[in-house]
Structure 1
Amino acid sequence: MKVRPKKYLRYLFLSNLFDLFGTERTKQILSVNPTVVPARAETREIVVSAYIYNKNEVRELKKITIDEALALEGNGHIVWINIDGFSKTDVEKTGARFGIHPLLIEDILSINQRPKMDEIDEVLFSVMNMLYYNTAKKSVDQEQISLILGKNTVVTFQEDAARDVFNPLRERLKLPTSKTRAKEADYLYYTLIDTIVDHYFIVMDKLGDQIEDLEEEIVKSTSKRTLAHINVLRKELIVLKRSIYPVREVIGNIIKSESDLLSEYNERYYKDVYDHIVQAVDLVDNLRDVVMGLQDLYLSNVNLKMNEVMKVMAIVTCLLAPATVIGGIFGMNFDVIPLTGHHWGFWIAVGAMLLIPLWMLILFKRRDWF
C-alpha cells in the first residue's frame, strides 16, 4: 500500500481539520447579506468578445474594447456581446448605452446576487448563476452571470474568462444551418438561458454519483468521516437550491412579460425551459431526500452496530455467570462445604463451570438469540 504522509499531516493544522467537516463552506453559504452591497474587486484583464450575425453570415470578434463592442449595436444584425470580468467604468458605460437603471447596474456589480428578472423600458435584465462541478474539491462552484436583452442585441457579463458553458452555442453559431442565426435576438436570449439550465443537470448528475458512492460506503461500513461527508453533501445541495429555485420564477416572469422584445412564436421555447427548470427543482428535492435518508441510514447502522456489541457483551456476561456463581459458592468462608474435601472436587467445579455455559450457548443458538 502506498503511504501518502501529506494526506494525514495536513490535519495536524487545526484549520485543515475544521475544513474537513465543511466549516469554511458553511461560512460561504451564510455570508449573504442583501442589506450590504459587497465590494467586487475589479478584474485586471477584461475580455470582450462579440458575435455579429444574421441568417447569411456570422462574424466573431475577439479581445475588442468595450467601445468597439457597443458600436456594433444598431447595424441591422443580431449582436451578442460577452464581457468576461468586471470594471465599474465598463458596466456603467454599457448601462448608459442601453438605458439600464442604476439599481440594475448595482446588481451586475454585486456578488451573491439572487437570480431574478427585471423589465425596464426597452430592456430585459436577468441575473442567474452558472454552476460547475469542482472535481478536485467535489463541490459545486457558482459564477454569477448577468444577461441583458435589447433590440437586436444581447449582452452578457461573466465573472471568469477561463470558463463558461456557452462554447457549444458558439460552435453552433458558426454553422450555416444554425437555427439561432435564423431567429431574432430573443431566441439567442432563450438559448443562453437554456444552456445554463441544461448544465444544471450535469452538475446534479455528478452530485448524484457522489451520493451513490456514499450510500455504498455507508452500507459496507460507517465512520465519523462518513457523517462528515453527508454533512458536506447537504451544504452542496443548499448551494444548488439557492441557485436553481429562483430560476423558475425568472423564467416564469419572462413568459408573463408583454415586452415587445419577446415574440409570441418564441414563447413556446421559454415554456420548454420552464419545464426543464421545474424538473431540475424536483431533482434537487429528490437529492435532498436521498441525502437525508443517508443520514438516517448512517444512524441506523451505528445503532445496529451498537446493539450487536451490546448483545455480544450480554451473552459473554451470561456465559461467565455460572463460573462466577460456582466460584463464589466454593469461596465462602464455611467449615463444611460439599466436595471441598473430595479428591475430584476441583475438577467437578471446573467441569460445571464449562458445561453449564456450553449448555446455555446451545440454548441461545436454538432460540436464535444470536
Structure 2
Amino acid sequence: MAKHKHTRKRNKILERKAGTRPGTLAIPTEAYAPRFFLMSFNEHLFEEVELKTYQELLHKVKSQPDARHWIDIRGYADQAVLEQIIQDFGLHSLQMEDVINDYQRPKVEEFDHNRLFIITRMLRWSPEFRTLDDVQLSLFTGTNYVLSLQSDYGDCLDPLRERIRIGRGVIRQRPTMYMAYAILDVVLDYYFPVMADIGMYIEDLETQVLREPSKATLTQILDLKSELVKLRRISWPERDLMNELLRMDEDTIPDSMKVYFRDAYDHAVQLIDLVDNHKEMTSSLVELYMSTVSNRMNEIMKVLTIISSIFIPLSFIVGLYGMNFSRENPETGHVMPYSMPELYEPYSYPILLSLMSTLILLQLYFFYKKGWFRSF
C-alpha cells in the first residue's frame, strides 16, 4: 500500500506541466471519486451523515446555520465539484491548486477576514514495505465550519470523530477554531506511534548487524535513513505551522485558544527531537555495520594467518628435502661432502613426520599463550 501511494505522489508531480496558468486544477489520473461526510453539532445537537452529492451536503449545511459543521470531503476526481467548492466557500483557485497537488509543505495562510487555510500531513508507517506513507490534509476554517479535504478515504481522525459522537470533551461547546486545533492535534499525536515503530525497527536492525551483517541489512539501514530525512522535512514545517498560529492576531486566534496551539507546538518540537535522535541512531548503525564487518574480516584474516604460520615452516622442510641431492655419485660410488645424510637413513620418513608434528604442536602452544585463540 505504501509503495503504491509513493508511486501516486511521483505521478502527480510529473503530471504538472510547466508554464500552465496559475490556479489551474489538474486532476491526478489516479484520484479517487469524492465522498461527502458531514458532522453537524452544538451543545444540544449532533448529526452525522454521508451524503451522495455535493449539492445535498451544501443544502444540509445551509439548513442548520446555528450548528457547527465539519465538512469532510475525501477524493479529488470531480473537477466540477472542486470548482463549485471554490465558489460556494469563497476560496482562491491557487488554494485549491495547492489542495489537489497534494505534496505541499505544511503551512498556514490567513485570508478573507480571519479565515485560515492550513495544510498538514498525516503520517503512517508501513510495516510491510518499511516506508513512511504521508497524506496531505487541507483545512479551511469559517465562522461555523471547518472544511477538510484529502485525497484518500482513510485517515487518522477516527478518534476525534468518536469524541464528537459521544460528546466527550468540549469540542461541541467550543468555536470552530478549536475543532481545527483538535484535528491538528490528532494528526501530530499519530506521529509518535510512527516514531515508536521506527525505533523498534532500528533495534531490529541493530540486532541484525551484530548477529549477521549482510548487504541486505545495509540496504535497509540506508533506506530507513532516507525515510528519516523525509520525515525531518515534514516535521520542521509542522513546527513552523504551529509557530505561525501562535503569532496570529487576537482577532484570528484568541489568546484563550493559543494555549492549546502552544501545547501542539511543544509536541512538534518533541517530534523533531525524536527524528534527530533516530537519524543519529541510523547513522551509528552504518558505522556499527562497517565496524562489525571489519571485525569479522579481521577474525578471518587471523585464522588464515595462523594457518599460514603453521604451514610456512612445514613447507620449508618439505621443500628442502624435496631437492633430492644424492649422497653418492651414481657413477663412481664416491660419497659427496655436504650432501643430505638423512635421505638413506632408516625410519627417516616417520622421523621427519614426527618432527613436523612436534613443530605444529609447539606453534599452537605458542599461539595459545599469546592469546590468539581467545576471540574465536
The TM-score, its normalising length taken from structure 1, stands at 0.87
1:164 to 129, 138, 155: 155
Tell me, in whole angstroms, the C-alpha distance in 1 between the residues paired with 2:93 and 2:233.
25
| Separation (CA, whole Å) in 1 of partners of 2:345 and 2:30 | 98
The within-5 A match list for 1:66-145 is 66-71=54-59, 72=61, 75-86=65-76, 87-122=78-113, 123-145=115-137
- CA distance 1:146–1:25, shift in 2 (3 Å): closer
Aligned to 2:353: 350
Deviates more, 1:340-349 or 1:79-88: 340-349
SS in structure 2 of the partner of residue 174 of structure 1: helix
Tell me the equivalent position of 2:340.
337
CA contact (8 A) 1:88 1:109 kept: no
Moved over 4 A (4+): 24-39
* RMSD (Å) for aligned C-alpha atoms: 2.5
1:289 corresponds in structure 2 to 280
1:7 alignment partner in structure 2 = none
Q: How many angstroms apart in 1 are the aligned matches of 2:347 and 2:142? A: 107
Q: Percent identity?
A: 32
Deviations along 1:283-313, whole A, 9 cap, x unmatched? 1111111111111111111111111111100
Distance 1:146 1:284, change over 3 A: same
Inter-CA distance 32–259: structure 2 relative to 1 (3 Å threshold):
farther
Which residue matches 1:149?
141
Q: Label 1:29 to 1:245 Cα distance change in 2 as closer, same or farther (>3 A).
A: farther
Cα distance in 1 between the residues matched to 2:74 and 2:362 = 80
The 1:234–1:31 alpha-carbon spacing in structure 2 relative to 1, beyond 3 Å, is: farther
Corresponding residue for residue 61 of structure 1: 49
Q: Does 1:369 align with 2:372?
A: yes
Amino acid at match of 1:108: V
**Is the CA contact 1:247–1:277 (under 8 Å) kept in the aligned structure 2?**
yes
Q: Is the 8 A contact 1:70 1:94 kept in 2?
A: no
Q: Runs of 5+ in structure 1 lacking a partner?
A: 1-21
- Indicate conservation of the 8 Å contact 1:234/1:288, yes or no: yes
Mark the runs of 5 or more structure 2 residues left unpaired by the alignment. Answer: 21-25, 327-338
Structure 2 Cα separation of the partners of residues 79 and 30 of structure 1:
34
Q: Provide closer, same or farther for how the CA distance between residues 30 and 349 of structure 1 changes in structure 2, counting only shifts above 3 A.
A: farther
Q: By how many angstroms is 1:26 displaced?
A: 10
SS at match of 2:342: coil
Q: How far apart are the structure 2 equivalents of 1:95 and 1:41?
A: 21
Would the aligned equivalents of 1:101 and 1:120 in 2 still touch at CA under 8 Å?
Answer: no
Decide whether the 8 Å contact of 2:156 with 2:187 is kept in 1.
Answer: yes
- Show CA shifts across 1:255-304 (max 9, x none): 11116242210100000000001111111111111111111111111111
Relative distance call for 1:340 and 1:46 in structure 2 (3 A) is same
Aligned residue in 2 for 1:205: 196
Distance in 2 (CA, whole Å) between partners of 1:159 and 1:29 is 14
Distance in 1 (CA, whole Å) between partners of 2:47 and 2:12 is 42
Aligned partners of 1:201 and 1:240: how far apart in 2?
A: 12
Q: Which has the higher contact order (CA 8 A, sep 6+)?
A: 1
Contact 1:145–1:156 (CA under 8 A) maintained in structure 2:
yes
Give secondary structure in 2 for the equivalent of 1:182.
coil
Alignment of 1:128-277 (within 5 A): 128-161=120-153, 163-258=154-249, 260-277=251-268
Q: Distance in 2 between matches of 1:53 and 1:251?
A: 26
Classify 1:43/1:324 alpha carbon distance in 2 versus 1 (closer, same or farther; 3 Å): closer
Larger Rg: 2
Deviation at 1:344, TM superposition (A): 2.3
Q: Matched residues in 1 for 2:7 and 2:52: separation? A: 39
Q: Is the 8 A contact 1:42 1:88 kept in 2?
A: no
**Cα distance change, pair 361–25 in 1 and its aligned pair in 2 (3 A):** farther
